[in-house]
Structure 1
Amino acid sequence: LNGDNLYDPGAVDALFADGPTIGAVRVDDPSNYGVLSTRDGLVTDVVEKPTDPPTTLANAGAYAFPAEATAWLDVPASERGEHELTDVLARVVDEYEVGYVELDRWLDVGRPWELLAANEWKLGELDRELRGEVHEDADLRGSVVVEAGARVDAGVVVEGPALIRSGASVGPNAYVRGATLIGEDAEIGHGVELKNSVVGRGTHVAHLSYVGDSVLGRDVNFGAGTNVANLRHDGKAVEFTVKGERVSTGRRKFGVVAGDGAKTAINTSLNAGVKLSAGATTAPGETLTRDR
């Protein structure tokens, strides 16, 4: 399985049942993917990012190969120092009758905002479980998981789905809305509102802040009064910088991406679609409208 894709377990079962097989997904625009050429229900070729796609079946990065295919990885590495799985795939297609399984649910998680979609998917499958320390005056609604070693303080409201990992603390008087993941040893403090976000391990949003529809890496620190905008006034999808170009996230609401170790000073305002690089900082009272 490709490590940056998300799969439904039932689809993986189908791959094993019918192998050798390739997982495929129907897409409207296959030109950005490897595309399967097929004949009589079998895969004849995989064409990378074609200008004239032979089908609308994109390679979903899930394979059931014959056992001997593992030996075919013992070849010289590419210029990037990697053994290319696509080389093995080409050989399997040449030497075997390879079928394909269409996946009903699949997600390519290659860009930051797609982490939110992945989070929404997987947290939506949670069952409520409270193993950590939850204050009697906290209000946890719906599918909320508090792992052992996590702490939820007085006055906190959590609307699931939400996952609070071991060592994390929330509150007092914080408001967490799903779908939200709070990583190990993270701190969400007094008067903080957190909505539909991914918060990395060891990250602190400790005082009087709003963070919505955002991805915060590890060991990020948001100073008191840091607020994130997550909505354009014109109602259009928020844009984000990818490889130096602004592209649409396809999301009406999207906040910021903060790299590992980024830090904001007190009363920082972050515009929708802003990226804070790893280790980036802001000045007190600063309004950030461009990536840093």
Structure 2
Amino acid sequence: MFEVVVLAAGRSSRFKTGIPKVFHRLLDKPILGYVLDTIECIEPDRIYVVINPSMESEASKLFGNKFHWVCQQEPLGTGHAFQQVLPHLQEDSYVLIVTGDSPLLSADILKRAKLLAERELVIVTADMENPKGYGRIVRDHNGTVTSIVEDCDANESQQTITEINSGIIGGPANLIAELLRGATHANSQNEIYLTEIARLAADRGEKVHTVAVGDPMEVLGINDRSQLAEVEQILLNRCRHEVMLAGTTLRDPLRFDLRGKLKTGIDCTIDVNVIIEGEVTLGDRTYIGPGCILRDVKIGDDVSIQAYSILDSAIVGNRCSIGPFARIRPDTDIGEDSRIGNFVEIKNSKLGKRVRASHLAYLGDATLGDNVNIGAGAVTCNFDGQSKHETMIGEDVFIGTNSTLVAPLYIEAESFIAAGSTITHDVKERALVVGRSRQRSIKRWNPPSRRKK
């Protein structure tokens, strides 16, 4: 049986945070999520994740019961962490032990290590130009691995070694357990190091195989927020490259943030400082202007989203124009050929085809037919202080400037609401409704400021 153990119980002291390190987010998911996704690609029979007591409730919320969570009650080192899993492992299993803070790991390197781990000890290594912070692989004159020395315990000569331990170690579970029984606390941290098994194996004549990664970036660990930002930029650059290869123009790739999943049609253009979150789909020839935020939206063909618009959990039909400075909130569906202009907010509404709301309007909990015009300053009053109510507007309706539509309300087709009206009752088909005070002119008005005292 093939099992994987993920070591994720670190206390994150260098992060200076109340959140466990591996729960900090990279783009759209926690650091640990990347590691677990990669491990699943190599199809282990079981995945165990070692965590500390403060992580138990949050781990279940984030990842559910898909994995086996094992708690390390005291921070006594990586070797001790693995020992907590031993009672759960199958007697004949072979394991890969992986650190939970290496989100750039590829499935390929894990597959290569897995092939050796079934019968022998294997360590995944990398050659790093700057190995500071990583354990060094010590070899004898024949090139045989004799030990792994942690950075904090390395002497001056050992610190010049550039071959480092990635944190991935594999082998038969029984062999690793047996070797760890000989491990000591004789180090600067007074902990049981998992890396001790390299020395212990060499002492008893066991061969330790190494598998080298082609790109050292694969095994970059994250120990502080600076390294978190560094790894996030690596992930972002990969995403940007994939987006451009798919046929989308990025005006400035370094100023595009993809924090979720993006599917694009042909000849799309994304301007600077755009943020994509959740699952976003762009149709053919769609333009996204500078400073826009798109979250879980589906956008049709030939759509223009102008600068600084925010769209969240919405659908936009073909040939629509949105913005600038528009806010489209969740559960909104905008029909084809519609125009939603600057400073228009729409929430939980369904708009038909060719709807115009060109500026300064609010539509909440509304259903609009085709060819509706919403004048500047028009609002739906959907909340009475306790409950939300719906406004229904039929086809070919004209809503004049500065109209107030008090829900619940039904305005039938081809009606005309005069500017400045407050509408509180349903409107019949083809009606002209004027709901405002009659204008009065007071001649020779003497303002208070001009009156004699």
Higher helix share: 2
- Which entry has the higher C-alpha Rg, 1 or 2? 2
Which protein, 1 or 2, shows the higher relative CO under an 8 Å CA cutoff with sep ≥ 6? 1
